[in-house]
Structure 1
Amino acid sequence: MAQLLFVNLVASALAGLIPVPGGVGAAEATLTAGLVAFGVDESTAFAIAVTHRLCTNYLPPIWGYPSLQWLRRKAYL
């Protein structure tokens, strides 16, 4: 678990330093490289990196939009 946390933190920091909009590509590359360095095979590491991107960047707007609409209907916003 500590290795996974370390890889995630380092990948996030490096992806933030690389001047690519949204860190697309850089985040996946650093996460994949970190996982491979700790012994995960390359195809599994890449799948983990892409799944991480999907869960953290692309899925939240799916349930965020209905939540925003609900808040507007209830006049909370």
Structure 2
Amino acid sequence: MKDTQTMKLTPQAQTVLRHLKSVGSITNVEANAVHRVRSLSRRITEIQDAGYRIAKVRRRDCTGQQYVRYSLEK
């Protein structure tokens, strides 16, 4: 993606994008605990609006709670 589009991202969206590029995926709990990013879905929307393609996988944890794991599409 173009650097100019990435530069238009908010600082939190840039943090999430760096995490996606280095780690591969992220959940809301990870974003909050590791990076203090709230409203991950909004940051993901910002990243998509900048031209990145994001994959979403819905899962359930061992307690039955649903969550979404986001990753960059290749």
TM-score with structure 1 setting the length: 0.30
Higher relative contact order (CA 8 A, sep 6+): 2
Bigger helix fraction: 1
More strand by share: 2
With the length of structure 2 as denominator, give the TM-score of the two structures. 0.31
The structure having more radius of gyration, on CA atoms, is 1
